[in-house]
């Protein structure tokens, strides 16, 4: 299969296709698939420009809208991931992937798909430590903070990709894996990009999560962009016991942005199964991971923690054969991605019908719908024979767990009055329970509230706020009728003790 790899598109889609057509004529070949590694700028109209975190002079409509409206048709099947210069309000509608335009497929926040037997994984955005452990709380209209934080990689996407055990042929990211420069010609890189020298020296160049994924997944190829230069590297992975002494190699390639005299496009010939058509198909293992980890969705601004070996709950979500069979039945044994693109003017909801259909089929929540306050799969989780208050479906619970506490008293009172009342039963207190009249300092000492992971730029969170939030989650007055609004709302959230709340943001 002939695959064309492109670096940063920056909205110049028409120019990319024209260049591709010229290469096909010169070399007498036919490209089967085009891969774009971020900064795609899928702007549908001028309104989308306001969601892009770029200087005013770069807020240009460019040429994607021509393919979105049908004025032009993409001449080759195209897939892309997101970068840090995107029409975020458009891409947020397609959190799990979908058609951004006819024959142009966005891979979502993170995903794995199959094209003609080639397994392609991808993760969108760039890494920023301050947002990595937060929930996906952003929603339009974005402010100057959220229009940037929305494209920052989050831990959940990385956690999900780490559950994969089946081999990955191609992995896509926008920023580079940390330390990748050590496997290539670093002198040439510094000569072309002198400002990278200091970051390389301090080990700051690249993404830490991408480095972890590189050595965990060990794909055959890894394509990236972001730094606007062509750079190649070969990574020899150290064999593990599960590798059976087999030496695995990853060929890394990063390309420039689409400009004259820039090396932004390269065509590779990658072996594939000739018996399979070059169509897009969902990946069964990835779908199963999404289904199994749906309850981990979080739409809070606070820092939260994912399950690990030290907790008394499942933390390894690599799907079993039985779990994959269950998911396959949800899709009626057909994983081909249907061509169900729909233009903005043809649907009135804020959520995209493509995502709604996907989530209903897989029985998961739409992250965008959750942050908007919608309950997209509401009808899925209530049996007509049951009372709604008795439902304990994990997907339904995930929305409650991701509810952000509000500081608006009127909003809280309204919520309390309109929310159906259900009996909340707490276990009997243990003999060693701390007296609630104990001062705040001893309470913190007793429960070992950890604040070591709070970054210095978040020092605005006072210790007293953390104490109060934790106290409201641990102690509920069983017989008192004077419930404070903050306790009512906090009881709906996932009970993470080691977290840093920023609910007022």
Give the end of a domain, one of 291, 321, 342. Answer: 291
- Residues near 79 by beta carbon (within 8 Å), at least 6 away in sequence: 33, 34, 35, 36, 104, 105, 106, 107, 113, 115, 120, 122, 280
Give the end of a domain, one of 291, 324, 356. Answer: 291
Q: Which two tokens stand for residue 493?
A: 């959230």
**Coil, strand or helix: which one is 440?**
helix
To which residue do tokens 């709950």 refer? 313
With beta carbons less than 8 A apart as the criterion, state whether 169 and 270 touch: yes
**Coil, strand or helix: which one is 42?**
coil
Residue 161 resides in a domain: yes
With beta carbons less than 8 A apart as the criterion, state whether 473 and 499 touch: no
Give the end of a domain, one of 276, 291, 306. Answer: 291
CATH at 79: 3.60.21.10
Phi-psi region at 412: left, alpha or beta (left = phi > 0; alpha = psi -120 to 50): alpha
Residue 40 resides in a domain: yes
Number of folded domains that form the chain:
2
- Reading the chain (505 residues) residue by residue, the pLDDT tens digits are 999 999 999 999 999 999 999 999 999 999 999 999 999 999 999 999 999 999 998 999 999 999 999 999 999 999 999 999 999 999 999 999 999 999 999 999 999 999 999 999 999 999 999 999 999 999 999 999 999 999 999 999 999 999 999 999 999 999 999 999 999 999 999 999 999 999 999 999 999 999 999 999 999 999 999 999 999 999 999 887 665 667 899 999 999 999 999 999 999 999 998 888 899 999 999 999 999 999 999 999 999 999 999 878 999 999 999 999 999 999 999 999 999 999 988 888 889 999 999 999 999 999 999 999 875 443 333 333 333 333 334 343 343 343 333 334 344 344 334 444 444 444 554 444 434 344 444 433 433 333 333 333 443 333 434 334 433 333 333 333 344 333 333 333 333 333 333 333 3
What is the rounded distance in angstroms from the CA atom of residue 123 to the CA atom of residue 177?
12
With beta carbons less than 8 A apart as the criterion, state whether 154 and 132 touch: yes
Residue 318 resides in a domain: no
Q: Which two tokens stand for residue 106?
A: 């966005």
DSSP readout, 161-186? Answer: HTT--SPPSEEEESSPBTTGGGGB-H
With beta carbons less than 8 A apart as the criterion, state whether 298 and 136 touch: yes
Cβ count within 10 A of residue 477: 12
Q: Which two tokens stand for residue 474?
A: 């641990």
Residue 97 resides in a domain: yes
Q: How far does Cα 193 stand from its chain's mean position?
A: 29
Residue 385 resides in a domain: no
Residue 388 resides in a domain: no
Residues in a beta bridge with 282: 113
Residue 326 resides in a domain: no
- Residues near 458 by beta carbon (within 8 Å), at least 6 away in sequence: 130, 500, 502
With beta carbons less than 8 A apart as the criterion, state whether 304 and 133 touch: yes
Structural domain including 452 reads 423-505
Residues in a beta bridge with 5: 35, 266
Q: Which two tokens stand for residue 157?
A: 């996407």
Residue 375 resides in a domain: no
H helix runs in 100-185, sequence order: 129-132, 146-149, 155-161
Phi-psi region at 11: left, alpha or beta (left = phi > 0; alpha = psi -120 to 50): left
């Amino acid at each position: 299969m002939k695959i064309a790899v492109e670096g940063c598109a920056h909205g110049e889609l028409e120019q990319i296709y024209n260049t591709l057509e010229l290469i096909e004529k010169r070399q007498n070949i036919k490209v089967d698939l085009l891969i774009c590694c971020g900064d795609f700028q899928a702007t549908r109209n001028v309104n989308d420009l306001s969601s892009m975190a770029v200087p005013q002079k770069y807020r240009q409509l460019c040429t994607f809208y021509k393919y979105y409206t049908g004025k032009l048709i993409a001449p080759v099947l195209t897939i892309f991931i997101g970068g840090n210069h995107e029409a975020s309000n458009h891409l947020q509608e397609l959190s799990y992937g979908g058609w951004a335009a006819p024959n142009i497929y966005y891979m979502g926040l993170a995903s794995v798909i199959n094209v003609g037997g080639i397994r392609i994984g991808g993760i969108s955005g760039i890494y920023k430590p301050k947002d990595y452990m937060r929930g996906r709380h952003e929603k339009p209209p974005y402010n100057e903070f959220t229009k940037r934080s929305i494209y920052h990689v989050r831990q959940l996407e990385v956690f999900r990709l780490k559950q994969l055990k089946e081999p990955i042929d191609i992995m896509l990211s926008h920023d580079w894996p940390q330390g990748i420069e050590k496997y290539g010609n670093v002198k040439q890189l510094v000569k072309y990009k002198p400002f990278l020298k200091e970051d390389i020296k301090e080990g700051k160049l690249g993404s830490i999560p991408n480095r972890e994924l590189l050595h965990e997944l060990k794909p055959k190829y890894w394509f990236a962009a972001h730094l606007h230069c062509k750079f190649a590297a070969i990574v020899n992975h150290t064999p593990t016991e599960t590798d059976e002494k087999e030496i695995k190699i990853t060929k890394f390639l990063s390309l420039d942005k689409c400009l004259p005299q820039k090396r932004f496009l390269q065509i590779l010939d990658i072996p594939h199964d000739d018996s399979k058509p070059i169509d897009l198909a969902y990946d069964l293992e990835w779908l199963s991971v999404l289904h199994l980890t749906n309850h981990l969705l979080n739409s809070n601004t606070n820092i939260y923690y994912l399950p690990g070996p030290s907790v008394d709950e499942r933390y390894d979500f690599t799907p079993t054969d039985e779990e994959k069979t269950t998911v396959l039945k949800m899709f009626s044994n057909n994983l081909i991605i249907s061509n169900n693109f729909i233009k903005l003017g043809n649907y009135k909801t804020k959520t995209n019908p493509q995502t709604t259909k996907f989530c209903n089929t897989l029985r998961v929540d739409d992250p965008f719908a959750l942050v908007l306050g919608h309950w997209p799969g509401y009808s899925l989780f209530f049996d007509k024979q049951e009372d709604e208050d008795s439902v304990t479906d994990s997907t339904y619970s995930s929305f409650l767990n991701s509810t952000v506490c509000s500081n608006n008293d009127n909003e809280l009172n309204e919520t309390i009055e309109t929310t159906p009342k259900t009996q909340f039963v707490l276990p009997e207190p243990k003999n060693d329970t701390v007296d609630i009249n104990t001062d705040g300092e001893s309470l913190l000492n007793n429960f070992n509230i950890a604040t070591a992971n709070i970054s210095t730029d978040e020092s605005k969170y006072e210790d007293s706020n953390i104490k109060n939030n934790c106290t409201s989650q641990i102690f509920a007055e069983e017989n008192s009728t004077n419930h404070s609004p903050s306790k009512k709302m906090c009881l709906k959230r996932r009970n993470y003790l080691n977290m840093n709340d920023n609910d007022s943001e």
